[in-house]
Amino acid sequence: MQRAPLLIAAALCLSAGAATQAAPAPLAAEKLTVETLPPQSPHWVYVFDAAFDNEIDQRVHLYDGDSYRRLGQIDAGFTPGFNLSPDGTKSVIATTYYSRGSRGTRTDVVEFTDNTTLAPAGEIVLPNKRVMTSPNIFSVAYSADGHFVYAAYVTPAASFGVLDPVQKKVLGEIDTAGCVLVIPSGPNRVSSLCESGRLLTVTLTNDGHESARAMSEPFFDADKDPVFVQGIPTDQGYVFLSFLGEVHAIDFSGAQPVFAPVWSLVSAEEKGHWRPGAEQVGALHRKLGRLYVPMHAGGEGTHKDGGTEIWVFDMATHKRLARWPVHAGGLANVMAIQVSQDAAPIVFAATATADVAVMDALTGHVKHIEKHLGQTPWMMLNP
C-alpha cells in the first residue's frame, strides 16, 4: 500500500520529462555557400607545405595567427617556387604538372592566385626549365614595383625567365653564366648567387631585356663557409647567413650590391659547435631590427638539422637578446621561421613534426601550437 504514492510520483516525473524533451524544434535547412576571406591581417601566414611524401601535390596553407584557424589553401604542384606580390594581394607559384598526374608530358607554368579570394588569377606557361628545388624565396619573385616576375631556371644550365604578370607572357630569358636563383631589387634588377661567392646583377630594359650586367667582389667562400640561399628580406635588401653563423647584410637598393661589415651569430667559443640550420634559416622584424634564427649544436653536415633553440639578435648592436629552447615548449626542431611585421609581432615556428607554433615575438611565449599543418612545412611568408 505504501508503494502506490511513489509509483504515481515516478510516473508524473517521467511524463513531465518526456513533455520537455519532445519540444526541440528541427534544425533549419542549410544553404551551401562559399566562405569569403576576412580582410588581410599582418598575422596571416602562408605556410608552404612541400608534402614530401607525395611531392606532386604540394600546397600552401593560409593560416591566421590570431584565430588559430586555417583560412584556405593554394594548390602548388611539383617542387614549386612560391612568393607574394609586393602588396600582398597576389600569390605566385612556379610549378610543374604532368599530363597523367605523376607522369606524361611535362608543363612548367607560373600560376597566380588572388589572395582576397584564393581563386586562380591567370597563368604563364614556361619553357620546361624551371628550377626544381627546396622552398626558397628566390625560385620565383616579383620586381619591387610588381612590373616583372622572374622565374629561375636550372636544366642544370642556369638562367632565368622574365615574365609580364599583367599581359601574362614570357618576355625573355637571361643567361646567368652558372649563377643561380633570382634575387629581385628595384624595378628592373636581378641578382644571382655564384659559386665563386660573387653576385651577378643583371639590369633590364622596360621590356624585360638585358641592358647591363656586373659581377660583384666575392662576399663568401663556398669551400670554407658557404651561405644559405634562403635570404631574409630587409628594408634595403637581404641578409644571408653562413653555415658557421656569419651574417652578411647586403644593400641592394643601388645599382650594385653593397656589403655591410660581416658579424657573427656565435661567439669564438661557440663557433663550429652552435650553428644555424633549417629549411628557412631566419626571419627579421624590420622595424624592430630583431633577427630570429633556429640554432642547434652540431658539426659539419648538420646545416639542415633544424633548431633546438631560437636565438634572437638585435641587428643594430649585433647582440644576442634571447635564447628560446623549443623542446621544453613541446616543439620538435624548428625547420622554418617567420615573424609578422606589425607592432604586436608574432613568430611562427614550423617544426620537423609539421607543427606550427605561434609565439610572442617579444617574449618567446608559446601562445598556440597548431598540430600537423601539412606534412613538411618548410617555408612561411606573410603579407
Partner 1 sequence: MRSLDQIFEHSSRSLAQRTSRRSLLASLGQLLTGAALLPLLPIDRAGRAYAAEGKAKADSPQSCEYWKYCAIDGFLCSCCGGTSSSCPPGAAPSPITWIGTCHNPGDGRDYIVSYNDCCGKTSCGNCECNRNEREKPMYRPSRNNDLNWCMANADSNYHCSVSVILGVAEK
Answer for which of 133, 236, 264, 341 binds partner 1 (CB under 8 A) is 133
Of 190, 115, 107, which Cα lies nearest the Cα of 147? 190
Rg of the chain on CA atoms, in Å: 26
> For partner 1, which stretch binds (CB under 8 A), given 114-122, 267-275, 297-305, 356-364?
297-305
278 sits near partner 1 (criterion: CB under 8 A): yes
Cα-flanking dihedrals φ and ψ of residue 136, to 5°?
Answer: -160, 165
Binding segment for partner 1 (CB under 8 A), chosen from 8-16, 23-31, 189-197, 337-345, is 189-197
Residue of 92, 149, 171, 194 interacting with partner 1 (CB under 8 A): 194
> Quick check: 140 binds partner 1 (CB under 8 A)?
no
The angle formed by the CA atoms of residues 77, 82 and 86, to the nearest 5 degrees, is: 145
132 binds partner 1 (CB under 8 A): yes
Nearest of 242, 297, 249 to residue 273 by alpha carbon: 297
CB 142 within 8 A of CB 115: no
Position 214 contacts partner 1 (CB under 8 A) = no
Q: What are phi and psi of 308, to 5 degrees?
A: -85, -15
- Strand 377-381 and strand 366-370: pairing? unpaired
The distance of closest approach from Cβ of residue 139 to partner 1 in the complex, given in angstroms and rounded to an integer, is 10
> Which residue of 69, 209, 287, 304 would you call a contact of partner 1, by CB under 8 A?
304
The one among 54, 67, 167, 363 contacting partner 1 by CB under 8 A: 54
Please state, in angstroms and rounded to a whole number, the distance separating the CA atoms of residues 139 and 146. 16
Kindly tell me the sign of the dihedral angle through the C-alpha atoms of 228, 339, 320, 368.
negative
159 binds partner 1 (CB under 8 A): yes
Stretch that binds partner 1, among 81-89, 93-101, 206-214, 249-257 (CB under 8 A): 93-101
Q: How many CB atoms lie within 10 A of CB 144?
A: 16
Cβ-proximal residues to 146 (8 Å cutoff; 6+ apart), any chain: 85, 86, 87, 165
Residues in the interface with partner 1 (CB under 8 A) total: 56
Find the shortest distance in angstroms from Cβ 161 to partner 1.
13
Positions touching partner 1 (CB under 8 A) are 50, 52-56, 78-79, 96, 98, 101-104, 106, 131-134, 154-159, 175-181, 193-196, 222, 226-229, 277-279, 300-306, 333, 335, 352, 376, 378
